[in-house]
Chains A and B, each alone.
Chain A
Amino acid sequence: MNTLFDKIWDAHVVSTVEDGPTQLYIDRLFCHEVTSPQAFSGMRDRGLKCFRPEKIFCMPDHNIPTLNQDKPIEDPVSRTQVDELKKNATDFGLAYFGMGHKKNGIIHVVGPENGLTLPGMTIVCGDSHTSTHGAMGAIAFGIGTSEVEMVMASQCVLQSRPMTMRITVDGKLSKGVTAKDMALYIISKMTTGGATGYFVEYAGEAVRDLTMEGRLTLCNLSIEMGARGGMIAPDEKTIEYIKGREYAPKGEAWDAAVAYWNTLKSDADAVFDKEITFKAEDIEPMVTYGTNPGMGMGITSSIPAVESVPEAGRISYAKSLEYMGFNAGESILGKKIDYVFLGSCTNGRIEDFRAFAAFVQGKKKAADVVAWLVPGSWGVDQQIREEGLDKILAEAGFELRQPGCSACLAMNEDKVPAGKYAVSTSNRNFEGRQGPGARTILASPLVAAAAAITGEITDPRVLMA
């Protein structure tokens, strides 16, 4: 009568502090350049070595430019941070996939793509979107830098056991509706803090029907409703996806692993602290209109009236709409947009590029739209070229950039100017997220493609008919 979460968590408990948190063993620590320097300094200050260096993988992603990766990073501060990760990885004897390395890219894309992320694992990283890896049937969550240092020092973290929630999506998604829309729909219903304190398992026909990459997108966004993480029980699709990847088990180890993975599902009588069900057919292509991912709506809907918001939240709500330049009650269909961003750990995978390319094939990019198409990793870039998607994109007027986090949080040069509107496939529309004053509308790759073609917010289903 255990949930999937219980099974993995219980198998990783080293000890429990009296009246306190659990000491949880961690199978994989991912490090990027932004949230690790102070952890490495802490290790040096204490005179420590990494306890299990072979379980730690480092790659820079946030500061990486999307042009000229063969040259040193121009911004000296970004360059210093990236150089420091390389030095730290070398000094502490850790695997390092540097800028331009064939396995470089966004950590949450590189992990699953290389078989570094496996079912049944506990995975952490100093990055809230670590929740992505839960799609493979792992417990994966974001931690702070002090906790990164804990894992380096002991391969463990101290964590309070979260409550469990199952979100079931029944039925089938409609045409033109993607995993991203499902996630934005769920977050809009749950609100941005609605799953705080919980670890979520996604279930139901619409979830099982998602491809592995769709599942990665769904779990990626779990943090945006406050959940510590999201996870999906591994199945045939998961096992098929992992098979043959570089770090995946081989031979007898593979057979043993598959036998174990097949046990990783919630028991039929498992009890969750909370259960929520949605219907797939209620979901349409989604857009956000505000400054947190919970402020989303169906693309044909209107922005809610201020009166519909509880009183304590009205100051924030009004501030949010003012920042976006939107009015309560209006539709955003037909709104002029300036930038389109395809990429990030949410939607920078090969399927996202396939969907975008299929949509724009035979059409032309709107002349006044700046489009940044940024693969999530060099592995994705290679697939794009092998499948000839780069040529389709070029014919439609789009240019492919080099992999990294890019305009998702604008720590590199890819910043949306103040006041401009960006349709972004990334994960956050916070004030200033894509550059100071930038206005972000979160959407799926299909909505982004439609906006890139027409230059305004457009229902992709109209152009797909």
Chain B
Amino acid sequence: MKEKFNITTSTCVPLPLENVDTDQIIPARFLKATTKEGFGDNLFRDWRFDKQGNPIPSFVLNNPTYSGKILVAGKNFGSGSSREHAAWAVAGYGFRIVVSSFFADIFKNNALNNFVLPVVVSEEFLAELFTSINANPKTEVEVDLPNQTITNKATGNSEHFQINAYKKHCLMNGLDDIDYLLSNKDKIEAWENK
């Protein structure tokens, strides 16, 4: 999962629903695993499969028209439970980027810790993206992490997106927070002794 980030260009999978909570991304009954593997198979399980386990044709992940490394979702993606399993499911399925106009805090952190980049765009940009993908499912989007820009290749429109400089450094260099914290133990002990 620690694949370094640079510039990613991909087609997109659209999910124009708001307030997609982490219980939908990965339902609780799949949280009993004790490893990080296999969650991609159950991403959006109850929207994706019926009770018998057959794919529901109307759900976007079952529609072969749409594919790609970028999930484009409605406002307030990843609300609810703090389960990191949701990020493992998104990453495990093969998404590297999630685009939305708004993310829930804990999901955003969990995604970054698993090298999935949450890109926050304006509501206008998001609406235009849905329109472009709707008109042409092969619409490509370019996410340029070094320059922090996202471009809708169908219209040529671009937006700048925010990311914490430290997190950007981690994503581009394949580093994680524990590496940093472990290099900093003297400061922790100094804090404890003050």
Contacts and interface: CB of A to CB of B under 8 A. Distances in A.
Interface of A: 14-15, 17-21, 23, 25, 34-35, 37-38, 41-42, 46, 48, 51, 62-63, 77-78, 80-81, 84, 126-128, 130, 142-147, 149-150, 153-156, 158, 160, 162, 192-193, 196-197, 223-224, 226, 228, 292, 294, 312-313, 315-316, 319, 409-411, 418, 428, 430-433, 436
Interface residues of B, number: 55
B104 A193 contact: yes
Contacts of A126: 82, 84
B127 to A, nearest CB: 7
Which 6 residue pairs are nearest across A and B when measured between Cβ atoms?
A: A20-B166, A19-B165, A144-B84, A37-B34, A193-B76, A144-B110
A135 B75 CA distance: 29
Interface of B: 16-19, 21, 23-24, 27-29, 31-32, 34-36, 46, 51, 74-76, 79-84, 87, 102-106, 109-110, 113-114, 123, 127, 164-167, 169, 176-178, 180-182, 184-185, 187-188, 191-192
Contacts of A433: 23, 28
B79 A292 contact: yes
A19 B166 contact: yes
A294 to B, nearest CB: 8
A96 B166 CA distance: 36
A345 to B, nearest CB: 12
Given A35-B84, A193-B104, A433-B23, A153 B164 contact: no
Contacts of B16: 312, 315
9 contacts: A17-B166, A25-B192, A46-B178, A146-B178, A147-B177, A150-B181, A155-B188, A193-B19, A292-B19
B106 A313 contact: no
A315 B106 contact: no
Contacts of B18: 312-313, 316
Given A23-B184, A409-B28, A142 B114 contact: no
A78 B178 contact: no
A145 B84 contact: yes
A409 B113 CA distance: 25
Contacts of A196: 76, 102-105
Q: Which of A20, A63, A78, A428: most chain B Cβ within 10 A?
A: A20
